[in-house]
C-alpha cells in the first residue's frame, strides 16, 4: 500500500517530539514493503530553529541516521493535493498542520473517496487550547488516531470526530536499543525541553533538588532553556548539553546510570494514561528509569517493575540512590522495562494496530457501498 503522511517535520526534532514516532513508523512501513511519502511545510518552525542553531552536521546527521527516509516540502497555498494523493491508499494528517491544509485534504477525500484518511493527535491542546483543535475541519476524515484513550474520548464526546482510536506512541527499537560499549560519563541524564513553564516546579522537585542533594554527576540535554533556568542548573552543578539529535539519545543513555521522566502538568492532570514518547525510548535503551507521578490508567506498564515511581522529592532521592548503589537491582529493573517495550510497545506493534484500523475502515466502507447498491425490499 501507499501511505502519505503530512507532519510538521520528519527531518527536525528540535522541540518536536512527534518526529521521533514519525521516523519509526515510516521506517517500519518501508521495511514491510509499503510505499511511504512524507510531506512537511517549507516554513516549519522546528526546522527553522534547527537551522538557526547552526550546529555542524545537524541536518546531515539525520540523513546518515535515516538514509531510507525523505521529506517532500510543500507550501500550503500551492500544493497540488490531487497529484499528491492520486494513488494513495492511506493518508495520515498530524494535528501540527495548518487548518487550511487539513480542510483541503478533507475536501479532496470527499470528492475522490479512494483512500483511508486519518487525523493524528499527539498533543495536549485538546484540553489546554480546545479552540485550536475545534478549528480543524474533520468532516470528511474517516477518524482520529489519538495517543491516549482520554484524548480519543474527548474527540468523540465533543463531536470533533465520529470515529476515533487509541494509538499510543512507541519506541523505534531499530534506533533505541542498549549500547553497552559506550564509556561512562556520569550518574544521571535527563533529556527534555524546559518549555513553557508547564513543569518548572516539577523539574525543581524531581530533578534539580535531588541531584543537588545527592551530588550526582548530571547532564541535561534540551532546548528553550532561558537564562534563569541555566543559572539554576549551574547552581545545582548540572552540566547543560544543549540540543541533542534524538537519534543520538541511545548513545548518551549508555553513558549514564539512570534517567528520570517528568511529565508536563497538562498530561499529568488532564490527560492521564499518556506518558509521551520519552519513557518508551528510555526503557527501550535499557537504562533504569525513575518517574515522577503519572496515572497509568491504561495499564501500559507495571510501575515498580518496569520503572520506579517517586511521588515526592524525598522518594525521588531514595529511588535514584537505590538504582545507583545496587547495580544488580538496576540491571534487573532495566531488563524488565526493555522486555515490556519489546513485548508491547514498538513501532512494529503500532503498525499492526494501524493496519487493523485500515482494514476495519475498508470493510465498513465496503459494507456501506454494498448496502447502497442492493435494491430496497418492498
pLDDT digits (tens, 9 = 90+) for 57-101: 788 999 999 999 999 999 999 999 999 999 999 999 999 999 999
- Examine the domain organization and report whether 306 and 229 are in the same domain: yes
- Examine the domain organization and report whether 15 and 87 are in the same domain: yes
- Examine the domain organization and report whether 6 and 120 are in the same domain: yes
Q: Are 347 and 168 in contact (CB under 8 A)?
A: no
Q: Are 133 and 125 in contact (CB under 8 A)?
A: yes
Closest by CA position to 84, among listed 121, 117, 119, 59: 117
Q: Would residue 365 count as lying in a domain?
A: yes
pLDDT at 377: 46
Q: How far apart are the C-alpha atoms of 13 and 243, rounded to whole Å?
A: 10
Closest by CA position to 5, among listed 173, 13, 18, 17: 18
Residues 6+ apart with CB under 8 A from 370: none
Q: Are 34 and 65 in contact (CB under 8 A)?
A: no
pLDDT of residue 319 exceeding 60:
yes
- Examine the domain organization and report whether 220 and 109 are in the same domain: no
Residue ranges with strand state E in 266-343: 289-291, 308-309
CATH of the domain at 200: 3.40.50.2000
C-alpha grid cell, residue 38: 512524507
- Examine the domain organization and report whether 95 and 235 are in the same domain: no
Domain that holds residue 324: 188-344
Number of domain units in the chain: 2
Q: What is the mean pLDDT of residues 170-178?
A: 98
Quick check: helix, strand or coil at residue 303? strand
pLDDT tens by residue, 337-375: 999 999 999 999 999 999 999 999 998 776 665 555 555
Amino acid at each position: 500500500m501507499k501511505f502519505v503522511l503530512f507532519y510538521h517535520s520528519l527531518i527536525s526534532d528540535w522541540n518536536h517530539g512527534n518526529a521521533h514516532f514519525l521516523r519509526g513508523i515510516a521506517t517500519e512501513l518501508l521495511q514491510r514493503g509499503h510505499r511511504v511519502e512524507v510531506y512537511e511545510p517549507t516554513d516549519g518552525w522546528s526546522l527553522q530553529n534547527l537551522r538557526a542553531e547552526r550546529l555542524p552536521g545537524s541536518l546531515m546527521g539525520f540523513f546518515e541516521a535515516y538514509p531510507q527516509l525523505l521529506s517532500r516540502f510543500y507550501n500550503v497555498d500551492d500544493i497540488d493535493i490531487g497529484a499528491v494523493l492520486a494513488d494513495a491508499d492511506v493518508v495520515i494528517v498530524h494535528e501540527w498542520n495548518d487548518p487550511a491544509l487539513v480542510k483541503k485534504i478533507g475536501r479532496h477525500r470527499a470528492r475522490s473517496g479512494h483512500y483511508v484518511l486519518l487525523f493524528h493527535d499527539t498533543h495536549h491542546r485538546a484540553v489546554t487550547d480546545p479552540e485550536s483543535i475545534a478549528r480543524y475541519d474533520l468532516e470528511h476524515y474517516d477518524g482520529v488516531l489519538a495517543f491516549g484513550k482520554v484524548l480519543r474520548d474527548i474527540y468523540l464526546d465533543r463531536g470533533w470526530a465520529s470515529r476515533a482510536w487509541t494509538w499510543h506512541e512507541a519506541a523505534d527499537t531499530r534506533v533505541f536499543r542498549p549500547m553497552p560499549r559506550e564509556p561512562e560519563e556520569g550518574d544521571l541524564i535527563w533529556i527534555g525541553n524546559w518549555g513553557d513553564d508547564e513543569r518548572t516546579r516539577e523539574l525543581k522537585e524531581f530533578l534539580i533538588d535531588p541531584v543537588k542533594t545527592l551530588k550526582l554527576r548530571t547532564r541535561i540535554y534540551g532546548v528553550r532553556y532561558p537564562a534563569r533556568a541555566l543559572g539554576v542548573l549551574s547552581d545545582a552543578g548540572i552540566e547543560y548539553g544543549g540540543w541533542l539529535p534524538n537519534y543520538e539519545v541511545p548513545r548518551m543513555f549508555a553513558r549514564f546510570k539512570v534517567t528520570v521522566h517528568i511529565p508536563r502538568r497538562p498530561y499529568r492532570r488532564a490527560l492521564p494514561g499518556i506518558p509521551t514518547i520519552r519513557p518508551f525510548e528510555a526503557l527501550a535503551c535499557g537504562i533504569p528509569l525513575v518517574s515522577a507521578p503519572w496515572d497509568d490508567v491504561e495499564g501500559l506498564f507495571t510501575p515498580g517493575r518496569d520503572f520506579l515511581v517517586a511521588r515526592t522529592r524525598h522518594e525521588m532521592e531514595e529511588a535514584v540512590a537505590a538504582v545507583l548503589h545496587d547495580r544488580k537491582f538496576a540491571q534487573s529493573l532495566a531488563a524488565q522495562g526493555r522486555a515490556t517495550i519489546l513485548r508491547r510497545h514498538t513501532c512494529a506493534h503500532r503498525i499492526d494496530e494501524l493496519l487493523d484500523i485500515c482494514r476495519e475502515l475498508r470493510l465498513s466502507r465496503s459494507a456501506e457501498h454494498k448496502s447502497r447498491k442492493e435494491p430496497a425490499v418492498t
